[in-house]
Amino acid sequence: MAVDEDAAVAAAIAASLEESGGRGGGGGGSGRPDPPRPPNAGPTEVGDVPAALPPRRHRHRGGPSNGAAPTAVPLPDGSGRWLARRVVSANNSCLFASVGLLTRGTRDVAADLRGVVADAVLADPATYNEAVLEKPPPAYAAWVRLPKSWGGAIELSVLAAWAGVELAAGDIATQRVDVYGTGRGFSKRAWLVYDGLHYDAVCVTAPSASAPAAGTKWTQGAGEEGDERAVSVGSATAAAAAAAFATLLEGFHAARAFTDTARFTLRCGVCGAGVEGEKEAVVHAKQTGHANFQEY
């Protein structure tokens, strides 16, 4: 069966999980092909070699998972600033919206950023070849422009180069941080968080921003207009933000605010059959036409 058809079925399954609120705890790892790394093992530097990037199956969508998870932590520098998760819509364009917020100060640039990726792929077919993209570059360029196509590692690599900003993406399930765009002399670094289904931006708040009281949830949007969305590489702020990001990932992980799409257990909302992981769900959906699942 074609990869595009599998991706379409997986998207329908993800949509049914979002509608049912069926996201949250996962178990074990993230289902990524990279070997798991210990918590706080430090960032992995990812430059501009797409052959080293995870395969396309890791382009997921969804929404933030668990309300018990922290959404902001203080920077450990005594500045009164916080590192806060800035939520974007779960509309298949979460990666693009997050990068848009971090690099352009707006979430409403998904179509433009999809075009950036498409143009980059077409301009450099030697780098972005069929083996890397899992389809011919023209087909990939057309695919990534579609509003329902998911963004992932290839898009992060392209957009880091386009924006001239290192993009550090933290995976809640593994607490691994991959940094895209390193080794190119970029002066700024920005952060994103990934919960197995969804990307959000992470920003340093202004000192005047309202801080969450102990035991309460960060108010999304509080002080957002004063956010420092990308910080100077090698600066004291960057070091404090990196430490806070590790703490934030630990808090998300401890609250099980991630979905392990390789191992989560699902029940078909149509026939009641139980399946484990996205691959089994896709097989069931293609065999039966049922694409309504709930996590349990």
What DSSP assignment string belongs to 33-70? Answer: SSPP--TT--PEEE-S-GGGSPPGGG--------TTS-
What are the structure tokens assigned to 134, written together? 């899992």
Question: In sequence order, what DSSP letters do the residues of 72-132 get, joined into one string?
Answer: EEE-TTSSS-EEEEE----SS-HHHHHHHHHHHS-S--HHHHHHHHHHHHHH-TTTS-HHH
Nearest to 29 by CA among 266, 198, 259, 212: 259
Give the Cα separation of 1 and 287 in Å (integer). Answer: 12
- The lowest-confidence range among 96-100, 227-231, 287-291 is 287-291
Contact between 142 and 136 (Cβ < 8 Å): no
Q: Does residue 91 belong to any structural domain of this protein?
A: yes
* Confidence bin at 258 (pLDDT 50/70/90): confident
Beta bridge partners of 203: 84
pLDDT band at 281 (very low <50, low <70, confident <90, very high): low
Residue 33 included in any domain: no
Q: Please tell me whether residue 250 adopts helix, strand or coil conformation.
A: helix
Cα 183–Cα 133–Cα 127 angle in degrees, nearest 5:
45
Together in a domain, 119 and 137: yes
Domain count for the chain: 2
pLDDT tens, residue by residue, 87-96: 999 999 999 9
Cα–Cα dist 259/237, whole Å? 31
194 shares its domain with 278: no
- Domain, as residue range, for 101: 43-259
Statement to judge: residues 98 and 242 lie in one domain: yes
pLDDT at 287 (0 to 100): 75
- CA-nearest of 91, 114, 88 to 199 is 88
**pLDDT tier, 37 (very low <50, low <70, confident <90, very high otherwise):** very low
pLDDT value at residue 21:
44
DSSP state of 11: H
Are 115 and 193 part of one and the same domain? Answer: yes
Least confident of 93-97, 139-143, 260-264, 284-288: 260-264
The Cα-based distances of 109 to 37, 142, 219, 228 in angstroms read 33, 17, 24, 19
| 186 and 239 assigned to the same domain | yes
Mean pLDDT, all residues of the chain:
77
The answer to whether residues 90 and 162 belong to one domain is yes
* Those residues with Cβ within 8 angstroms of residue 128's Cβ, 6 or more apart along the chain or in another chain: 50, 120, 121, 137, 140, 154
6 and 85: one domain?
no
Cα separation, 287 vs 282, whole angstroms: 9
Region 201-228 average pLDDT: 69
Q: What percent of the chain has pLDDT over 70?
A: 64
Q: Are the CB atoms for 157 and 50 separated by under 8 Å?
A: yes
| Percent with pLDDT over 90 in the chain | 50
Give the number of C-alpha atoms closer than 13 A to the C-alpha of residue 268, restricted to the C-beta side: 18
Least confident among 53-57, 102-106, 162-166, 211-215: 53-57
In a domain, 98, yes or no: yes
Residue with more model confidence, 18 or 276: 276
Summarize pLDDT for 41-55 with one digit per residue, the tens. Answer: 456 666 554 433 433
Measure the CA–CA gap between 92 and 14, rounded to whole angstroms.
10
Check residues 200 and 80 and name the one with the higher pLDDT: 200
In tens, the pLDDT along 219-240 reads 554 568 889 999 999 999 999 9
C-alpha 240/C-alpha 95 separation (Å) is 24
The answer to whether residues 182 and 223 belong to one domain is yes
Residue 36 lies in a domain: no
Q: Is residue 55 part of a domain?
A: yes
